[in-house]
Amino acid sequence: MSRIAYLVPLALFAFIAGLGGYLLTQPKDEAIPSQMVAKPLPEFDLPPAGQGLVGVSDGDFVGGEPRLLNLWASWCLPCIAEAPHLASLEQQGAEIIGIAIRDKPEDVAQFLAEHGNPYTRIGADNISGIQFELGSSGLPETYVIDAKGVIRHQHIGDIRAEHVPLLLKRLEAAK
């Protein structure tokens, strides 16, 4: 065998090591997309998250216009950052239904008093069951649900100013 042939494994090793080193420097996308998009909402029925609030079931998404389903919690810091943008979505005509995850009624009430209440309904889920049903892996998350109760889009993470027009477009497209 020629000498050059002996260099092939070394070159292969250098290539793989180089590739590994390069990928280590790349930012990792930790978002886990839900496989439930384009599927109907699973069955659920959650009690209200506090006094004077209305509970949520999958049937509440059927009929009328497409809606937003927002998973949040009073203990979730990005949810505070998201609150003004949810308010702006509500002002522009979007119906937002909320589900508070692992939350206490008094904490929910305090959060709503401080940051406003853009929701028509807020259900309470104390064991994160709705998150597993929806394929959600963190808070906050927002889903676009069409008037037939089918999940049309998943927004992972807090809604920022630039996401508001995108979500309005998604709602329009879901009509």
Partner 1 sequence: MLRCRTWLIAFWALLAPLALAAQDTQPPAPYAYTQLDDPALEAQAVQLMASLRCLTCQSQSIADSDAPMAGDMRHQVRARLLAGESPAEIRAWLTERYGDYVSYAPQVNAVTWPLFAVPLGVIGLALLVLVGRLRRKTKGGTAA
One residue of 52, 127, 161, 175 binding partner 1 per CB under 8 A = 127
Q: Which ranges of 55-116 does DSSP label H, i.e. alpha helix?
A: 77-91, 105-115
Quote the least distance from Cβ 89 to partner 1, whole Å: 25
Token duo for residue 49: 């998250």
By CB under 8 A, what part of segment 87-106 binds partner 1? 101-104
**Contact call for residue 154 and partner 1 (CB under 8 A):** no
What is the rounded radius of gyration, in angstroms, for the C-alpha atoms of the chain? 22
**Contact call for residue 151 and partner 1 (CB under 8 A):** no
**Contact call for residue 57 and partner 1 (CB under 8 A):** no
Is residue 1 within 8 Å of 105, Cβ to Cβ? no
By CB under 8 A, what part of segment 12-41 binds partner 1? 30, 32-36
Specify the residue, 37 or 168, whose C-beta has the smaller distance to partner 1.
37
Q: Determine the distance from the C-alpha atom of residue 124 to the mean position of all C-alpha atoms in its chain, rounded to a whole number.
A: 16
Query: Residue 94 class from Cβ within 10 Å (0-12 exposed, 13-18 middle, 19+ buried)?
Result: buried
Contacts to partner 1 by CB under 8 A: 30, 32-36, 73, 75, 101-104, 107, 126-129, 131-135, 137-138
